[in-house]
Structure 1
Amino acid sequence: MEPQIHDAATSEARQRRLAAGLRSAGVGTGDRVVVAVPGSPLMVDLVLAACRSGVVPVPLDTRLTSSEREAIVSDVRPALVLDDDAGLTALDGTAEVDLDPWPRCRPMHFTSGTTGRPKGVWSGLLDGPAAAAAGLEERDLWGFSDQDVNLVVSPLHHSAPLRFATGTLLAGGSVAVLPRFEPGAMVAAVSAVRPTTMFCVPAHLQRLFAHEDATGTRLDPSSFRLVAHAGAPCPDAIRRRAHETFGRQTVWEFYGSTEGQFTACSAAEWHARPGTLGRPRPGRTITVDDDGLLWCAVPPWARFTYWEDREKTAAAWRDTPDGPAFTVGDLGRVEDGYVYLDARRTDLVISGGVNVYPAEVEAVLETVPGVVEIAVFGRPDDRWGQRVCAVWVGDADEQQLRQAAEEHLAPAKRPKEYGQVPALPRTATGKVRRTDLA
């Protein structure tokens, strides 16, 4: 399995053609385009072509069930749905159009919520100065340049790997996209491509090190100047081995979400302050309220709304002396300017870097006949960080629960373990005590 390699000059020309194709297809400024295709350089070019012409790409996981996808498509009312490479290729004609130098919007990624209904994170359209500020912040923070080769090992429908790939191409560098992550293929790709940067989640590092130990092979890290990880809590043993493998001067981690980015932390900072997630990114101020919630004040161009959901948007934002600040419900603290995370947002399960909200899974499983009550939660997992589990009250059949999950939920959201219980543990106010279940 070899990576697909793509340089900035080739990408720029194709972006211009794809933007012309979108225009010919009747897609205009502010329109949404659903992009539900496997990750590839072509997919990255389409996202950039759209964003640089004021069209909003909506990247979706190709593994979503038909009901999951239909709900999102109905929500965003796209001008165009691209669900195979043939659809993308059809847009790549001979005509070209001029593009803005910087993306005029962020892709609209969908994130689940505690209500169980996925919601789109919408940045709005940016003017020229705001678009440049957004792009330059990423470039300055990570040092993207025309000498970079970004190895993509994570699914490109997620915001972080897509941001690293597009940032590299905008800086004149190249990307090398692995069709899917396999430790052996990654080791071979590093040897063949000699990448300079990579974003990954802790589960990738975990699998890489397990592969090295099982086979006796060793990845050659000498070409890397930056290896960034995020998306899930990283076990200390894995973090320390990453620092040893790639070098403390190379490894960074960051704390963020689909909604926005909070911090960045070098390996040296982490060793000086074990447990920290680093300091706020440039232009941001992070504070903690009386309930322990982390709030992040951001520049105007980094603000967002939840697509057509005023109530959730209002709940996510508040005014502070440093300007409008948002929260994703995580608990933490700030000490000497460094941020520490005490607990991820309520009930969230992070499995292999994928956010799974119990309410979304429960909304599917509670429709199964015989389910009186059901609770979904996470348990520690050596490979994935956490695995999704479910317990139910009632006489429902486990096979029916598994079948419902397969029909309506993407693989990462499907419980791996089920259990039947006489009652769910609850607090005095009636909330399910998921920590007791775990």
Structure 2
Amino acid sequence: MNLSMILEMAASTGERAVATVGNRTLTAAGLDALARRAAAQFRNHPAVLYLGSNHLAYPVALFGSALAGVPFVPLNYRLGEQQLGALKAKHPGALVLEQEDLDALVDDSYATGDPEPPLEPQWDGDTVAAIIYTSGTTSDPKPAILRHRHLLAYVLNTMEFGSAAETDASLVSVPPYHIAGLTNLLSNFYTGRRVVYLPAFDPQVWLETVRRERVTHAMLVPTMLARIVTALGDDTADAPTLASLAYGGSRTPRPVLEHALRAFPDTGFVNAYGLTETASSVAVLGPDDHRTAFDSTDPAVRDRLGSVGRPLPGIEIEIRSEEGEPVPAGETGLIFVRGEQISGEYGNRSVLDAEGWFSTRDLGRLDTDGYLYVEGRSDDTIIRGGENIAPAEIEDVLLAHPGITEAAVIGVSDTEWGQRIVAVLVGDGDPDEIRQWVKERLRSSKTPDNIVFRDELPKTETGKLLRRTLLAELEATHA
């Protein structure tokens, strides 16, 4: 099993459009020719490092690497020179594709002339397909190993080949070094949906692109979704072709989601939960669940807007206590997942247990109907006076306050309580009134000890809160 089989299947459609950036579109046959030409160059290197933005060269480089039998390593090109240098040093001899190299990779003349000898890809599913460095929001980035069998299991278990209409188009705004960027490409090519790349995200450009390209499917991280609904204000989106809008990658504030559901009344929303180590999504809250919950007056049903749905085919989810024992439905514990697509491997080290379970290090719970609720990272748990407190619970209450647009709750060292609860907020309001707001909805032990206002919160390019950065700053301030 090799990712190149997806390229071969797509190439069988001939002149069908498969990828668009700006005014240029690649056909399936054209991409196949470019990828095979690139593979002839790639096979003399131990890996291919991709240091560019969303570009037509991205699928060429990915499938070229698969054909050449070498790992594809998309790196965050926005990192500083020192950080990038350290990552490059981990891959001696690798071919490095910088932004300025990408146009040449898709130059029409590049795929002309005498054809290269046909390449026979390595069909061993255990061969490394991609190495993606985790975002490192709570620790240093780790090299997550994704083998061909992991990525193909995700695609084959969740998608139907050729199921998309020829007019279908998927707008991809997430960066190429994110797992969603890679798996979006694979799933769209497999279903036959044209991929429209947005090199840099801007809410107005995103909306204009949806309308101009008649986009039917799109995927966003929560920060992008928040910027779009802010740009729309009270207006509806005027995006009649948009049938599906997926979001994920981090927690989405409930007010943002509800605003989006009003702004896109005819669009089906999909919340996808997954990690780099799980080769993309492992659970999904689908369109029907979104609309049922949004329209319901039953608090228990409406609360499902805060869930990430149920496991995808081929995925098992188990909630365990700190002692490693399964807990009953409704109880919070550590989220473990198991399935063919789960890698759970960093470098040469597997972190799967003896039965193949992977600890996501996320806290969560399953309700009696199998819906998964993610309550934050286990590393983020605040221990105040011996009580374990999940920041997500307090953040949700804070975000319901009319003056607050963003919230991060952090535990800061304290000699009396072990940790103090500090709420860092974007917005405005009286700190004492905000603390009372939380106290009335939760209890005293979960009320922030301190309220801090900021113009913005530190985040990664994909919208994940950089808690370790915020904690370091707060610890210094508190000290």
TM-score for both structures, normalised by structure 2: 0.65
Distance in 1, Cα, partners of 2:167 & 2:307: 31
Contact 1:144 1:167 in 2 (8 A): no
Cα deviation for residue 170 of structure 1 reads 3.4
Q: 1:137 to 1:246 in 2, by over 3 A?
A: farther
Distance in 1, Cα, partners of 2:312 & 2:222: 21
Q: Pairwise mapping of residues 208-247 of structure 1 onto structure 2 (< 5 A)?
A: 208-213=228-233, 218-247=236-265
Q: What are structure 1's unaligned runs of at least 5 residues?
A: 351-357, 359-376, 390-410, 425-438
Q: Secondary structure at the match of 2:241?
A: coil
Cα deviation for residue 239 of structure 1 reads 1.1
Instruction: Give the one of 357, 364, 387 matched to 2:457.
Output: 387
Distance in 1, Cα, partners of 2:237 & 2:186: 25
Distance in 1, Cα, partners of 2:211 & 2:475: 49
Q: Deviations over 1:156-215 (max 9, x none)?
A: 2211133212321233331111121111111211121001111101111111111122xx
Distance in 2, Cα, partners of 1:206 & 1:226: 17
Does residue 45 in structure 1 map to residue 60 in structure 2? yes
Cα deviation for residue 143 of structure 1 reads 5.8
1:59 aligned partner, one-letter code:
P
Distance in 1, Cα, partners of 2:27 & 2:232: 30
Distance in 1, Cα, partners of 2:360 & 2:66: 25
2:374 aligned partner, one-letter code:
L
Distance in 1, Cα, partners of 2:251 & 2:75: 24
Distance in 1, Cα, partners of 2:121 & 2:423: 44
Structure exhibiting the larger radius of gyration computed from Cα positions: 2
Contact 2:158 2:312 in 1 (8 A): no
Does residue 297 in structure 1 map to residue 330 in structure 2? no
2:373 aligned partner, one-letter code:
Y
Instruction: Give the one of 6, 30, 35 matched to 2:50.
Output: 35
Q: Deviations over 1:34-62 (max 9, x none)?
A: 11112112122211221344221110111
Q: Pairwise mapping of residues 135-214 of structure 1 onto structure 2 (< 5 A)?
A: 135-140=155-160, 146-213=166-233
Q: Pairwise mapping of residues 49-198 of structure 1 onto structure 2 (< 5 A)?
A: 49-86=64-101, 89=104, 92-94=110-112, 95-96=115-116, 97-98=118-119, 105-113=128-136, 116-126=139-149, 132-140=152-160, 146-198=166-218
Cα deviation for residue 329 of structure 1 reads 0.7
Q: Deviations over 1:256-307 (max 9, x none)?
A: 11111321111432414342211111111111111211000112x5324101
Q: Secondary structure at the match of 1:302?
A: coil
Distance in 2, Cα, partners of 1:195 & 1:225: 8
Cα deviation for residue 15 of structure 1 reads 1.8
Q: Secondary structure at the match of 1:293?
A: strand
Contact 2:163 2:192 in 1 (8 A): no
Q: Pairwise mapping of residues 286-435 of structure 1 onto structure 2 (< 5 A)?
A: 286-291=317-322, 292-299=333-340, 301-308=341-348, 310=349, 313-314=350-351, 317-319=352-354, 323-336=355-368, 337-347=370-380, 379-381=424-426, 387-388=457-458, 418=473, 421=476, 424=479
Q: 1:157 to 1:238 in 2, by over 3 A?
A: same
Does residue 282 in structure 1 map to residue 313 in structure 2? yes
Q: 1:145 to 1:74 in 2, by over 3 A?
A: farther
Distance in 2, Cα, partners of 1:69 & 1:280: 36
Cα deviation for residue 347 of structure 1 reads 3.7
Cα deviation for residue 6 of structure 1 reads 3.9
TM-score for both structures, normalised by structure 1: 0.71
Q: 1:145 to 1:55 in 2, by over 3 A?
A: farther
Contact 1:8 1:172 in 2 (8 A): no
Q: 1:144 to 1:45 in 2, by over 3 A?
A: farther
Aligned to 1:397: none
Distance in 2, Cα, partners of 1:274 & 1:205: 15
- Which of 1 and 2 has higher RCO (CA within 8 Å, sep 6+)? 1
CA RMSD of aligned residues (A): 3.9
